[in-house]
């Protein structure tokens, strides 16, 4: 009998698949459907202090091996989102509230409100590749990552995970800064900064010109980031980027991830993707003599 149960700080997940931030996670109804599809936990859309419309269209385009988006962090703001979270109070799986802010005071205010609204953990988005004043502008500065993480840690009692960008020369030093600030886990990776040009129109396809690439094409980048972080930090890592199958998830676990997130995969394989990944993981583990996912985590480091 194979067990997929895993722990992230004080959270227990019935399986290691988590919905990534930004996909079907802005309203309670779709989040419940994701859990019904078998996800072990949910990360919400990244939420800021005020309602935000995001960038004009086009904001999302499907490419050959993945998706390119520059949504501009559209969200209803923390007050309205709090009402959405009320109807998730009875669900039987961890809800991880994703937040983005411009500075310490915004991050700590959002963190407290998310905790008050009943989320079980927080994900600090310091990695959006295309939001001016937010995201990777903060997440590329080790000192700011450490001080914001420490301030949020001080402000709440629930676990906090820090989500990092692959668009950095040294993701490991930023992961270490988050660990030193008291993070309970690292989430790697957010999207890869990229662009698509329409050669007939002779201009970039996205209204914002630059966007973030996700899906299959970025999996090797995510694997490399998780592998490198695992060698230098002691807190759990949540792997994300290009996971579509159970074998993709196992690759992340072998690189050192304790759990995985799935974003674009929901678009390609619909809600059954969570259950399918779990079944495929169980089959592979059974065939290879593993009974517990903790036996698989980090095995590629020899």
> Annotated active-site positions, please?
128
Task: Choose between 148 and 243: whose C-beta lies nearer to ligand FMN.
Answer: 243
Task: Choose between 149 and 190: whose C-beta lies nearer to ligand FMN.
Answer: 190
301 touches 231 (CB < 8 A): yes
Contacts of 141 (CB under 8 A, 6+ apart): none
Report the relative pairing of strands 66-69 and 95-99 from DSSP bridges: unpaired
Q: Which of 4, 11, 18, 20 binds ligand FMN (CB under 6 A)?
A: 20
Site membership for ligand FMN, residue 69 (CB under 6 A): yes
252/267 Cα distance (integer angstroms)? 20
Neighbours of 302 (CB within 10 A): 4
Site membership for ligand FMN, residue 60 (CB under 6 A): yes
**Cα(first)–Cα(last) distance of the chain, in Å?**
27
Can you name the residues that pair with 8 across neighbouring β-strands?
A: 11
239 touches 246 (CB < 8 A): no
DSSP state of 129: S
Smallest distance from the beta carbon of 22 to ligand FMN, in angstroms?
Answer: 2
Name the segment binding ligand FMN (CB under 6 A); options: 16-24, 84-92, 166-174, 276-284: 16-24
Name the segment binding ligand FMN (CB under 6 A); options: 81-89, 223-231, 236-244, 292-300: 236-244
Name the segment binding ligand FMN (CB under 6 A); options: 18-26, 85-93, 110-118, 195-203: 18-26
Site membership for ligand FMN, residue 238 (CB under 6 A): no
Site membership for ligand FMN, residue 174 (CB under 6 A): no
170/78 Cα distance (integer angstroms)? 32
Instruction: List residues near ligand FMN by CB under 6 A.
Output: 20-23, 45-46, 60, 67, 69, 71, 73, 98, 125, 163, 190-191, 214-215, 218, 240-243, 262-265
């Amino acid at each position: 009998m194979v067990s997929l149960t895993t722990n992230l700080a004080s959270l227990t997940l019935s399986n290691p698949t988590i919905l990534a931030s930004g996909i079907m996670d802005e309203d309670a109804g779709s989040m419940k459907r994701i859990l019904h599809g078998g996800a072990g936990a949910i990360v919400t859309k990244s939420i800021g202090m005020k309602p935000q419309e995001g960038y004009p269209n086009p904001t999302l385009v499907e490419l050959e091996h993945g998706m390119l988006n520059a949504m501009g962090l559209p969200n209803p703001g923390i007050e309205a989102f709090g009402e959405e979270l009320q109807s998730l109070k009875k669900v039987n799986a961890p809800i991880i509230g994703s937040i983005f802010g411009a500075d310490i005071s915004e991050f700590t205010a959002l963190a407290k409100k998310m905790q008050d609204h009943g989320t079980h953990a927080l994900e600090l988005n310091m990695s959006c590749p295309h939001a001016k004043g937010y995201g990777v502008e903060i997440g590329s500065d080790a000192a700011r990552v450490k001080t914001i993480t420490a301030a949020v840690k001080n402000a709440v009692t629930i676990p906090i995970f820090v989500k990092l960008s692959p668009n950095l020369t040294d993701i490991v030093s930023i992961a270490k800064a988050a660990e030193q600030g008291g993070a309970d886990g690292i989430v790697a990776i957010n999207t890869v900064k990229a662009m698509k040009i329409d050669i007939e129109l002779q201009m970039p396809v996205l209204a914002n010109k630059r966007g973030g690439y996700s899906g299959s094409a970025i999996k090797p980048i995510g694997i490399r980031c998780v592998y490198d972080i695992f060698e230098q930090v002691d807190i759990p890592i949540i792997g994300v980027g290009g996971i579509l199958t159970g074998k993709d998830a196992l690759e992340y676990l072998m690189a050192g991830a304790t759990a995985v997130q799935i974003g674009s995969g929901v678009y390609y394989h619909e809600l059954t993707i969570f259950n399918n990944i779990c079944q495929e993981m169980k089959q592979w583990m059974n065939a290879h003599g593993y009974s517990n996912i903790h036996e698989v985590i980090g095995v590629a480091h020899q």
